[in-house]
Structure 1
């Protein structure tokens, strides 16, 4: 299963189960600074270096992506799957549908 879309509850449960995960917020740095999921790193999908930056990550680790509404992270998940990431999990409805804690 290279790519899956999860609702907020399932996404949070999967985050807890995969302690070796990578969590990526693909929003802009400004959006990220307004609040993000704990332990998330910001790699802006609009950055021309996006593919180069994610290519440097471990493709074998479970990778979780999210944005504001789920659209940008869906695109990121597809791109990362094309790059050979083994398991990518997208947060449906993005951070606006997130029920968990934010930093």
Structure 2
């Protein structure tokens, strides 16, 4: 993969409908696949969205860093990074599939 979403300058992202579509499709596919296995990624953030061929009609997007994936209902407060932590996790509730959104 060429870069992460965090590395792409905002002006490059604007008006790139193909990129938006690829990110949404890859993200939804990855989260669904993990949920089918009763897992929560727990670390979805721009640094973990890997992108190639950004200027092509069909950019390649993959979700990386599955090392923080945990079982649905995992009850460790520190499972998600601070900036990406779901409100319910901040409040002490278990990390569930809702924590991904």
TM-score, normalisation: structure 1: 0.27
Higher RCO structure (Cα 8 Å, ≥6 apart): 1
Larger radius of gyration: 2
